[in-house]
Amino acid sequence: MIVVRIIMNVLPEKQKEVMQTLLSMVEPPGKKSGYLNYGIFRDIEDKNVFNLISEWKTRQDLDDHIKSYRFSVLLGTKSLLCEPLKIQIFTVSNSEGIEAVNSVRKKRN
């Protein structure tokens, strides 16, 4: 699995415009090949900072997305930002869920 984090530091007067752009980019999981999940988060300490988190089955699926018109729209928001986009791409080889938490908590008792 591939996880992408995009950090956007938005000009204060452009928050609404950026949010509308981000919301227009959201597609239901499964509609696009290899796309698993997408979330938009606002920083609790700085309301001008947005984090976009997306999950992809493979690197090829992500690469196809990066070449898409939809991703070009995201890159086109640069005039609405205080600084360039920060993009982080993580390759996840293993993931665990609540079972891992429950297991650790049982060991503690």
State residue 39 phi and psi, 5-degree precision: -140, 145
Give per-residue pLDDT as tens, 33-71.
788 888 999 999 999 999 999 999 999 999 999 998 889
Q: Which of 52, 42, 44 is nearest to 22 (CA)?
A: 52
Give the residue extent of every domain in the chain.
Answer: 2-108
Give per-residue pLDDT as tens, 1-37.
999 999 999 999 999 999 998 888 777 655 667 888 8
Q: Which fold has domain 2-108?
A: Alpha-Beta Plaits (3.30.70)
pTM here? 0.84
